[in-house]
Structure 1
Amino acid sequence: MITIQCTKKLIDNSPFEIEPVKEETDPFFSWHAHLFFFNRKKCVIVMNNKTRYNFVLYGLKKKEFDNFSDLFKRTLTKNLRAEQIPEEQIKKYIRECDSFIHTKTSDRSIISQINEILWFAKDRMEEDKMMGIETDFIELNRFLNDIPMTKLNGFPNNVMCKEMESL
């Protein structure tokens, strides 16, 4: 089971049914999600609670919010493949994504790290816009996961790869 912990902004702009926060959830299968706007389009940044691995979803419409679990699994799979994580490990993780619950956020330090990563993401997206090119979100996400985080003592992509190996 995957837990998506949503910020108030995301809760207010999505059809998610919010459940109470469960303390016993595995941090490796828990993610924080935050809604932001870029070029008047809805975007969501999602960050893993344990590894701080993150990715941006751009230009979401109502149907994507209605099928958020499928979009999450597809996008996560694409990004993990880009990190060259073995397919068998990806499939093991995705099998755990059989059900989703949405709750309120529970960790202010993750929100702080999301805001920091969001600054880098918006900067890169704005730079692409000024150059007249469309942002490659797989490359953007790889860039964002190659930013060191002191809480991890490393890089989100490396920590995610190590955690995936232990599945």
Structure 2
Amino acid sequence: MIIRPTKALMKEMNTNVDALPNIEQDEMYSWHANNFIMNRKKYIIFVNDKSRLSVTISKIRGNQGKDIKNIFSSALKDYLLVEGFKEKWMDSYIGEISDIKISNTNNRSVLGTMVEAVKLMDSIYSRGAIPDFHELNKENNRIIYKPIDYLKPIDVFNELIKEYHGS
């Protein structure tokens, strides 16, 4: 599994951006990450390269940056449980996360999807509705995106989980 933080996120976590290796990985196991501010609070969004599934978490502090792998895997598992994924599929996928590496961003399309997801969350907040993170993630993952053939990220991820870990 690969997490690909943006330079802004790496700087926020006090990590040397130039020291990151370029690692190739199956897009199902590659996630881009970025930080953003909404309603005067800091957050991190993770977007899966293949399905465009997004998971947003509240901002981790700089000293927790080294634990981003555990924080991400925990947030992902919590979200997938809320979505009703089969536990055996989740455990299999999350098990793949045990060896997470950090690498450079490598897909502008994924970064664009990330920007769109942040805009959606910002519009939800600006309307005065302040749902919990699971509700925000659900909203983001039910928007259709062109790079995945105008499908919903949750549906694409569900099909991919079945394909990779099903039976």
- TM-score, normalisation: structure 2: 0.89
Letter matched to residue 148 of structure 1? I
Partner of 2:146: 150
Q: Does 1:165 align with 2:162?
A: yes
Q: Does 1:21 align with 2:22?
A: yes
Which consecutive aligned stretches of 4+ in structure 1 deviate over 6 angstroms post-superposition? none
Using the alignment, how far apart are the partners of 1:88 and 1:3 within structure 2? 21
Q: May I ask how many residue pairs the two structures share in their alignment?
A: 161
Percent identical across equivalent pairs?
25
CA contact (8 A) 2:12 2:62 kept: no
CA contact (8 A) 2:33 2:44 kept: yes
Cα RMSD (Å) of the superposition?
1.6
CA contact (8 A) 1:33 1:45 kept: yes
Aligned mate of 2:136, from 133, 140, 161: 140
Give the C-alpha shift of residue 124 in structure 1.
1.3
Give the C-alpha shift of residue 62 in structure 1.
3.0
User: Gapped runs of 5+ residues in structure 2?
Assistant: none
Q: 1:121 to 1:38 in 2, by over 3 A?
A: same
Deviations 1:17-74 (A, max 9, x none): 6521123x11101000011112332211100001100011123223442321111111
The structure carrying a bigger strand percent of its residues is: 1
CA contact (8 A) 1:42 1:61 kept: no
CA contact (8 A) 1:4 1:100 kept: yes
Using the alignment, how far apart are the partners of 2:39 and 2:125 within structure 1? 10
CA contact (8 A) 1:16 1:102 kept: no
Using the alignment, how far apart are the partners of 2:58 and 2:39 within structure 1? 10
Q: Does 1:116 align with 2:113?
A: no
Q: Secondary structure at the match of 2:103?
A: strand
- TM-score, normalisation: structure 1: 0.89
Partner of 1:41: 41
Q: Secondary structure at the match of 2:112?
A: helix
Query: 1:38-117 residue pairs with structure 2 within 5 A?
Result: 38-117=38-117
Letter matched to residue 5 of structure 1? R
